[in-house]
Structure 1
Amino acid sequence: MQSVHYPHIVSFYGACVERGKYALVIEYMSLGSLYKILHKDRLALDWSARLSIALQTAESINYLHKLQQPILHRDIKSSNILLENSHEGYIVKVCDFGLARTQNEITRQTQLIDGLTCTLQWTAPERLRLEKYTKKSDVYSLGIVYWEIAANEIPYDGHDNAVIREFVLAGERLEMPKTTPSSFSALINECWANDPNDRPECSYLIEMIENLIQEQSNFMFVVLL
């Protein structure tokens, strides 16, 4: 990942190994993870901030997917999305590429080689069936993160893995908060479609979220008039 440079991906500087233990040297992000902000710090984010976080996250994954040799993250979740403050708002960077693979590497693997290595709450149904991981599996995980941003809750909080697996494989999904803008709800529903072919590309997510941000901006302008 040292060769990957993008504004919304955490910079990797090096690694240290001592007595069988290793440590990575990466870019410092003072606010910590999105998981920490939502579920520990309990920050009250307005929808402008939420949509900005959603957009920047989609941009980072889209960059990986559009590389000449596409990279699949394979472990997208709120604890792997880091934030920093700036005068323009939150800066978002994706981290933890321990499970990341190029698309060619995924194709060469059999379906059973690495089993379920992702965190279950964010794992796509095809992976629960031990089927091949694709770009659309990353998109499903993004949909769960987007639900997290909307609900300010931990996905499937209090339920064990067996219950979550059964729920997801049955085609059930988390209940959408009533305060979620309808366009964002629709986007989340597209992201976590049961059939990977029915899920959008990250480039589509970017376009739709940019439209949502523009709509919000226009609404605020009208209100201020």
Structure 2
Amino acid sequence: MVNHHANIIGFYGVTKLEGEEMYSLILEYAEGGTLRDHLRNNIVKWNSQLRDTIKLADFGRSFEKGKGDNNTEVWGVVPYVDPKMYDKTILYKLNEKSDIYYLGVLFWKLASSSLLIDSPEDNYIMLGAAVPNTNDKFTVLYQKCLKQEPDERPNISEVNETLSSIDNDESTVSDSEESEYSI
């Protein structure tokens, strides 16, 4: 059971409409819309990106820690899938480092205001590029999260520590000026 958290969409239950085969989840209404809509339609200052835009809602591959997931099929939204899943020469299972890669894509997306494209090959070219007017520590963080080799990615504790240090020291923005830009 997941406790309520301000940055996780609330789960209220499951329902099934009469005559339907599929079940539906009853979730908290996300008043601000999707991240894609928010980034596309708003002017966002760097210092508000992390605080104001993150609320997790996609738990499609979730499972209870320790129970494991034996599925090795590529599954998910293409730009967010761990690149190791595309390597047909190895048997690779999604794991905590896959989640870190997902966070790296999300962080880069927040910094770049990009909506990304759907081809894994093209994503590797643009993902991880330093984004002007982005906090230097944040740039290093998303670049580490996007490492090709899972063992080179940080763990979630390191991600949290870095985010906390950024929150406490907003003065380390590239190009010495914090700019407002349209997304």
Alignment TM-score, normalising by the size of structure 2: 0.79
Question: Aligned runs of 1:49-198 on 2, under 5 Å?
Answer: 49-52=48-51, 90=52, 92-106=54-68, 109=70, 111=72, 115-129=73-87, 131-155=92-116, 157=117, 161=119, 164-165=120-121, 168=124, 172-174=125-127, 175-198=129-152
Q: Secondary structure at the match of 1:6?
A: coil
Preserved contact between residue 14 and residue 25 of structure 1 (Cα < 8 Å): yes
Residue 17 of structure 1: how far off its partner (Å): 0.9
CA–CA distance in 1 between the matches of 2:59 and 2:123?
Answer: 28
Structure 1's consecutive aligned runs of 4 or more residues displaced over 6 angstroms after TM superposition are none
Check conservation: 1:5, 1:11, Cα contact below 8 A.
no
- Cα distance, 1:100–1:46 mapped onto 2, change above 3 Å: same
Q: Which of structures 1 and 2 has the larger relative contact order (alpha carbons within 8 angstroms, sep 6+)?
A: 2
Shift of 1:118: 1.0
Match of 1:98, SS state, is coil
What percentage of residue pairs aligned between the two structures are identical? 25
8 A Cα contact 2:103 2:145, kept in partner = yes
Number of aligned residue pairs: 166
Q: Which runs of 5+ in 2 are unaligned?
A: 174-183
Output the TM-score relative to the length of structure 1: 0.66
C-alpha change, 1:166 and 1:149, in structure 2 (3 Å) is closer
Q: Which has the higher helix share?
A: 1
The aligned residue for residue 14 of structure 1 is 13
Looking at structure 2, the residues matched to 124 and 92 of structure 1 have their Cα atoms a distance apart, in angstroms, of 20
Out of 206, 209, 212, the position equivalent to 2:166 is 212
**Structure 1 unaligned blocks of 5 or more:** 53-89, 220-225
Superposed CA RMSD in Å reads 2.4
Output the CA distance in 2 between the equivalents of 1:142 and 1:123: 10
Which secondary structure state, in structure 2, belongs to the residue aligned with residue 187 of structure 1?
Answer: helix
Relative to total residues, which structure has the larger strand share, 1 or 2? 1
Cα deviation for residue 212 of structure 1 reads: 1.4
